[in-house]
Amino acid sequence: MNFILIIAGLVVLILGGNWLLKAAVALSLKLEIPKIVIGMTVVSFATSAPNSS
């Protein structure tokens, strides 16, 4: 059972990272700012935000 939960967690983590990347690129295109700025701000805030556990 634990193995299934670990696999499911990894799948959710990968899908969430993919969603974050696509959303960050879409935001940079919509606001017409360089992608590196989005990479240094939005993605860094999202990855360093404290979790609830």
Integer Cα distance of 29 and 46 in angstroms = 19
Give residue-wise pLDDT tens across range 21-47. 888 888 888 989 888 888 788 777 777
Packing angle of the helix pair 35-48, 2-31 (nearest 10 deg):
150
Domain-wise residue ranges, the chain = 2-46
Reported confidence tier of residue 53, pLDDT bands at 50, 70, 90: low
Both tokens of 39, joined, read 């990479």
Between 12 and 41, the more confident residue is 12
Closest CA to 45 of 24, 15, 28: 24
Please report the pLDDT score of residue 39 as a whole number.
Answer: 78
43-46 contacts: CB < 8 A, separation 24 or more?
46/20
